[in-house]
Structures are given as C-alpha cells and as structure tokens.
Amino acid sequence: MKSFCVTLVLFLTCGLLADCGSVSNKEMLEVSRKLYMDDAGDRIVNYSINTTQNAQNNFFPLLENYNRETGIYETMNYEKEEKIIRFLNTFINSKVGSRLYNFLQPKGIPGCSNKAEFKRTLKTKWFDLYRRSRKVLDSSGFEHVFVGEINSYTGKTIGFHNWVQYYSQQKAGNIKYLTHLEQCLENLHSLEFEWHNALKPCSGFAMGVSPAYDLAVFTLCHIAKPGKRCKVSYRNTDGNFKTAFVQTYTWRYTPHIASAYFLC
C-alpha cells in the first residue's frame, strides 16, 4: 500500500504537472526572455478596444465571472464558459501562447502533445474549480491569481497578483493604496493595499506586461518547476535582462494552480 501511494504521488506531481526536471534553468531564462520580447505589442491597456483577436481584451470579461468571497459556490454557465474558451483561443494563437506551446511540445511534457490538448491543460490548470474554503467549489487558479479573492474566515484579500486587475479596480474606486513595500527591479513591485476594505498585506506585481505574459510565465513555471522558486528573465527599464523569481503552488495533489506570483 505504501509503495502504491508513493507511485501515485509521483504520477500526480510528475505526470500531471511536469516532466520532472526536463527543463533546465538555462532554458527557462532563455524562453522567458523571448516571452517578454514577444509580449511587447500587447502592453497598452485600452478599455475602448473590443476585439476577439487580442488575449488582453478577452481578459477583461473574465474578471466578471467570479464571486470574490471564498466559501460561496462559483456557478458556471454557457456564457461564462464561452468567455474562458475565447480567452484561451486567443492566448494560444498569440505570440506568447505560441512561444510557450512550441517550447513545451517537443519535450514530450504530458498535456502538450498538440494544441487542442494544450488548451485542455491550460483550462484544467487555471479554470477548473476546486474547494479552497469549506466544501463548495469556490475557487480556481485564475480567480485567485488574476482576479483576487476575499477569505471569508479572515476577511483579508488573498491572491490578487495581476497589475491590470489592480489598475482596473483602482480606477473603479475599489482599491485603497496603503504603501509600497519593495521594488525588486524597476517594474517588479510589492504593494500593500485594501480591496473592497479587505487588507492585502503584500502582493507582488509585474507592472506593464500583458495578462497573456503573466499566464505564459506562470504556466511555464508551474509545469517546469512546480512548487519551487523559478528563475525567469525580466527586462529592466535600462533595457538589460535581469533574473527574477516566480513562485507557483499546486492545489494539493491535483493539476490545478493554487497560486502563482513574482517574488519581491
């Protein structure tokens, strides 16, 4: 029985999450540098644009899909599912999405053998619901990282690691900025703030990049280095690339992303 349990854990952590060490740190730095360069055309936030051709513009409707309180069942319907599929389709066909797929696919990593399978892998990792609080399906990796949640027990904000969501919520009057905690690189910052009066003591953001870039880098790290500090290349404002760190977590023994963020 013990041998079976060990085998099961290895299958879940290696077979579903990664290819157990098949991506070197050097490769991680190189592909993340290319992802950053590929993202250059998608970095301007423009709320007036409404097109199905840009992953960033298909990102905003997803922010409306979720209830921010944990412990409340997240309902999914056809309209919400369509928003997810539309975003994933544009992400996979974007420069950063194509770069990520073309890097992972030749390595034989499970879930990346073709684009249809890769899209299913992304949906499972980021959008499938799981039980973060109590006994209801109340959370997902995407909601936690890109939207943010309010813990129903502590009353504090959890997750919330995307600067575009921070910007949009600040613009809507839902954010109260408290203090700037740290600056790792010129565009990597750690902030303390309140969201709907719920304190977020510390959250790291990569400022100025698109949601597609965050999704690509976080997915890369979760697949290649799950549960570890992951080295990536990040461009400083002086034009030179520096080493930054991303941390990802898995929701228990599942393929779902529990959290992902830049360390600062």
Q: Which two tokens stand for residue 163?
A: 């600067």
HEC assignment per residue over 66-114: CCCECCCCCCCCHHHHHHHHHHHHHHHCCHHHHHHHHHHHHHCCCCCCC
- 161 in active site: yes
| Contact of 249 with 259, CB cutoff 8 Å | yes
Active-site pick, 119, 144, 222, 256: 144
| Residue 80 β-bridge partners | none
Active-site pick, 83, 95, 189, 200: 200
Q: Which two tokens stand for residue 6?
A: 């060990």
Greatest pairwise CA separation for the chain in angstroms:
58
Question: Quick one: CA dihedral 160, 164, 168, 170, positive or negative?
Answer: positive
* Residue 172 buriedness (CB in 10 A; 0-12 / 13-18 / 19+): exposed
- 180 in active site: no
- 256 in active site: no
Active-site pick, 83, 119, 125, 161: 161
Q: Rounded to whole angstroms, how far apart are CA atoms 103 and 63?
A: 28
Question: Quick one: CA dihedral 168, 171, 177, 181, positive or negative?
Answer: positive
Q: Rounded to whole angstroms, how far apart are CA atoms 103 and 201?
A: 36
Name the residues annotated as catalytic. Answer: 144, 161, 200
